[in-house]
With several copies, the nearest count.
Chain A
Amino acid sequence: MSFLSEAFWVLLLGSLLGLELIGKVPPTLHTPLMSGANAISGITMLAALTLIIKAGTNLPLLVLGAVSLGFALFNVVGGFLVTDRMLAMFSRKSSRK
């Protein structure tokens, strides 16, 4: 019960918070925001990590976990880097030229 009750509380509050966090977003930021949020959704890497750690000597589980971790990190690392690249383009370049 305890984990569950906690889980539902954070689920409810997290969702409400997510709904409120972004209000007006200027169109220029739609793509970067999408890709940044996408990188964050790669947080499943924690689940993959936990899985590997708890797998003990169960080889299939280890493999599944590692593959899952790879996918998740691909998402996270790629997502953050590509977002940064985009945002670098938007940042005021009046200093250049």
Chain B
Amino acid sequence: MTFSEILKFSIDLLAVFLLALGIKGLSKVRSARDANRLAAIAMSLAVVGVLLDSLGSSGISFNAWIWIIAGSLVGTLLGAVVARRVAMTAMPETVALFNGCGGMSSLLVALAVAIFPLSNSNGELSSVLVERISIVISVFVGSITFTGSMVAMAKLQGWLPTPAWMQSKVRHFINIALGVVSLISISSLVSGDERGLLLLIVGSALLGIGVTLPIGGADMPVVISLLNSYSGVAAAAAGFVVGSQLLIVAGAMVGAAGLILTQVMCNGMNRSLISVLFGGALGSITAEGLSGSAEYINITSCSVEECALTLEAAERVVIVPGYGLAVAQAQHTLREVTRALEANGVEVSYAIHPVAGRMPGHMNVLLAEADVPYDQLKEMDIVNPEFPATDVVLVLGANDVVNPQAKNDPSSPLYGMPVLDVQEARTVFVVKRGMSAGYSGIKNDLFDLANTSMVFGDAKKVLGDLLVELKELGISGKN
């Protein structure tokens, strides 16, 4: 065992250890940022390990260096630019993009080895078999990850509508057919016939599209997390292909952790993984919910002026932001309104529901962007007991997260999801454009309550008007 071997080996062990610490740390608020850096350090270490090992044994040719540097430079630069430029609210699609590229990378590696076999294996049947199987897995999972992630990104960006036939049952047959095609090419590849390769790539790529396309935009974070888990599997398979322990461990860890995260996310949104994957978009249900809006019997609508008067007289105001606020990009206007209120001596805080919006942590990101002080953001468990002592609650483009059905109506699909008990406050204003339902597509009993008034309009516009009204009342944050 040469010195360089020992060195490489220790580096690998250390890298895995740090990666494990990193993944663990990322799941706790206090350690998350350091953990992310730790993981980055671990990855750099791993690269150093590979380079040192090669330098110590066969060396790295000049030619190889050129290609290495070229590839790294392009990847790094693009990655850095995208990571800097992208809007905070576009995180899920960004992660999807990155993830797809990771899948593509595994796919390409496996492809390369399939076409130009490495002289790794010792020719024994069992290792040849394992090598073939890992190439196949890497190609299969890699291309599903790639196309699936790209579709997810495109849908989240709104570039890709869901074709109607994709929501019908037909898609299941198409996907099953694609699955069968992939399986056939897989078995032919494993038995040593290389002609199946192209078929496998095309089949699994289409399968990735077919499975992801029908899924509704709001379920996408879960799908992306699942695809992320797949790309871990693809990495582990690539590890078998090139014979790297480190790759196998890291891939397996990420794959398994991704699976758990997917499950946790599903639970958080009160959805099951099965219904996310096979239930299709929630669009149709939403349509039902819309028609169901006729059921409202006791809606009080009020003007922005009235709302401004009530706010001005209040002592404690709680803002409940939701998806609509994000869509309207109204966070900065909101901040101006709350500045004005605070200047007038009103105590303002923000009630953050964990799944308000369309991605986990959406509201935290949004309000942080608008410079809302961290200590005014209150989590659900903290703020819920405070509602009875609150004068005014301003619900901005939120719907499901303030639906009392979740507590009261066991037949409701929301039942069991923890919600913000805004109805306990003295007065509730709900700002939204119309009576349409939220993500879950169901009626919101809150709107019917006596202490709730609707302020119809786009969140940004309403908040702008509110600012004007408040100024007329002599309140402004500017002085």
Contact flag (A, B; Cβ within 8 A): yes
Q: How far is the CA of A22 from the CA of B241 in the complex (A)?
A: 28
User: Is B250 a contact of A21 with CB atoms below 8 Å?
Assistant: no
How far in angstroms is the closest Cβ of chain B from A92? 5
Q: How far is the CA of A26 from the CA of B267 in the complex (A)?
A: 12
A contact residues, range: 35 or more
How far in angstroms is the closest Cβ of chain B from A61? 5
Q: How far is the CA of A23 from the CA of B371 in the complex (A)?
A: 31
Q: How far is the CA of A61 from the CA of B67 in the complex (A)?
A: 10
Chain B residues with Cβ under 8 A from A18's Cβ? Answer: 23, 232, 252-260
Partner of B364, one of A20, A28, A33, A82: A28
Q: How far is the CA of A27 from the CA of B71 in the complex (A)?
A: 36
**Chain B residue, CB-CB nearest to A84:** B36
User: Is A1 a contact of B253 with CB atoms below 8 Å?
Assistant: no
Q: How far is the CA of A42 from the CA of B40 in the complex (A)?
A: 11
Chain A residues with Cβ under 8 A from B221's Cβ? Answer: 30-31, 34
Does B294 sit within 8 A of A, measured CB to CB? no
Chain A residues with Cβ under 8 A from B17's Cβ? Answer: 12, 16
B contact residues, range: 35 or more
Does B420 sit within 8 A of A, measured CB to CB? no
How far in angstroms is the closest Cβ of chain A from B402? 17
Chain A residues with Cβ under 8 A from B83's Cβ? Answer: 77-79, 81-82, 85
User: Is A40 a contact of B63 with CB atoms below 8 Å?
Assistant: no
Q: How far is the CA of A87 from the CA of B82 in the complex (A)?
A: 17
Chain A residues with Cβ under 8 A from B236's Cβ? Answer: 11, 14
- Please, what's the 1-or-0 string for B50-84, where 1 marks a CB less than 8 Å from any CB in chain A? 11001000101101100110111011101110111
Binds A, one of B161-169, B202-210, B325-333, B355-363: B355-363
DSSP majority for the B interface? helix
Chain B residues with Cβ under 8 A from A6's Cβ? Answer: 245
**Chain A residue, CB-CB nearest to B225:** A34
Binds A, one of B92-100, B302-310, B384-392: B92-100
Q: How far is the CA of A10 from the CA of B251 in the complex (A)?
A: 10
**Chain A residue, CB-CB nearest to B118:** A54
Q: How far is the CA of A12 from the CA of B219 in the complex (A)?
A: 30
User: Is B64 a contact of A55 with CB atoms below 8 Å?
Assistant: yes
Q: How far is the CA of A31 from the CA of B83 in the complex (A)?
A: 14
Q: How far is the CA of A17 from the CA of B58 in the complex (A)?
A: 34
Please judge, given known A-B contacts A4-B1, A42-B105, whether A31 and B23 are in contact too, CB under 8 Å: no
Binds A, one of B122-130, B271-279, B432-440, B444-452: B122-130
Chain B residues with Cβ under 8 A from A38's Cβ? Answer: 95, 98-99, 102, 228, 231
Does B140 sit within 8 A of A, measured CB to CB? no
User: Is A79 a contact of B98 with CB atoms below 8 Å?
Assistant: yes
User: Is A94 a contact of B95 with CB atoms below 8 Å?
Assistant: no
Chain A residues with Cβ under 8 A from B251's Cβ? Answer: 14, 41, 43-44
Interfacial residues of chain B within 3-57, with CB under 8 A of chain A in the complex: 5, 9, 13, 16-17, 19-20, 22-24, 26-29, 32-33, 35-37, 39-40, 43, 46-47, 50-51, 54
Chain A residues with Cβ under 8 A from B369's Cβ? Answer: 89
Please judge, given known A-B contacts A53-B64, A86-B91, whether A78 and B98 are in contact too, CB under 8 Å: yes
User: Is A9 a contact of B13 with CB atoms below 8 Å?
Assistant: yes
Please judge, given known A-B contacts A36-B26, A38-B102, A71-B75, whether A51 and B261 are in contact too, CB under 8 Å: no
User: Is B252 a contact of A10 with CB atoms below 8 Å?
Assistant: yes
User: Is B235 a contact of A43 with CB atoms below 8 Å?
Assistant: yes
Chain B residues with Cβ under 8 A from A45's Cβ? Answer: 43, 47, 105
Partner of A17, one of B70, B256, B359: B256
Does B287 sit within 8 A of A, measured CB to CB? no
Q: How far is the CA of A81 from the CA of B33 in the complex (A)?
A: 11
Does B244 sit within 8 A of A, measured CB to CB? yes
Chain B residues with Cβ under 8 A from A42's Cβ? Answer: 43, 98, 101-102, 105, 235
How far in angstroms is the closest Cβ of chain A from B395? 19
**Chain A residue, CB-CB nearest to B368:** A89
Binds A, one of B106-114, B177-185, B467-475: B106-114
Q: How far is the CA of A50 from the CA of B49 in the complex (A)?
A: 11
How far in angstroms is the closest Cβ of chain A from B28? 8
- Given contacts A47-B242, A49-B51, A51-B242, 7 further A-B pairs with CB under 8 A are A13-B249, A14-B253, A18-B259, A35-B94, A36-B39, A78-B94, A87-B32
| Chain B residues near A (Cβ < 8 Å) | 1, 5, 9, 13, 16-17, 19-20, 22-24, 26-29, 32-33, 35-37, 39-40, 43, 46-47, 50-51, 54, 58, 60-61, 63-64, 67-68, 70-72, 74-76, 78-80, 82-84, 86, 88, 91-92, 94-95, 97-99, 101-102, 104-106, 108-109, 111-113, 115-116, 118, 124, 126-127, 130, 221, 224-225, 228, 231-232, 234-236, 238-261, 264-265, 268, 354-355, 359-361, 364-365, 368-369, 371, 373-375
- 21 intermolecular pairs with C-beta atoms under 8 Å apart: A14-B250, A14-B252, A18-B255, A22-B23, A22-B257, A31-B92, A35-B91, A36-B22, A41-B258, A45-B105, A49-B51, A50-B54, A53-B64, A53-B68, A70-B78, A80-B37, A82-B86, A83-B26, A87-B36, A90-B361, A90-B364
